[in-house]
């Protein structure tokens, strides 16, 4: 099984293109096209897996009650 960061069918985005450099949170500077939004892409897209930022991990809930584990529903 391959790592999802290195798969070949990655959706093109300027945020993780080898031709781009970050300008701010929402835009990049592309060597081919100039300033672009991070979500844009062009024909010159070249994937650079080191620019890809993985999503933040989910926060686990730790304050469970006995009702969270009950199999029967309470009648009203």
Domain boundaries, the chain: 1-51
Q: Whole-model pTM?
A: 0.58
CATH of domain 1-51: 2.20.70
pLDDT tens string 25-63 = 899 999 999 999 999 999 999 988 888 877 888 888 888
The token duo for 16 is 């993780």
Q: Which residues pair with 51 in a beta bridge?
A: none
> Cα dihedral angle (13, 15, 18, 23), rounded to 10 degrees?
140
| Parallel/antiparallel/unpaired status of strands 34-37 and 27-30 | antiparallel
> Of 23, 75, 15, which Cα lies nearest the Cα of 51?
15
Range name among 2-6, 13-17, 21-25, 27-31 with the lowest pLDDT average: 2-6
């Amino acid at each position: 099984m391959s790592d999802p960061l290195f798969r070949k069918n990655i959706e093109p985005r300027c945020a993780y293109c080898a031709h781009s450099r970050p300008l701010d949170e929402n835009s990049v500077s592309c060597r081919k096209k100039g300033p672009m939004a991070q979500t844009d892409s062009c024909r010159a897209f070249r994937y650079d897996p080191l620019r890809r930022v993985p999503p933040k991990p989910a926060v686990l809930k730790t304050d469970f009650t006995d009702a969270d584990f009950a199999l029967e529903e309470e009648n009203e």
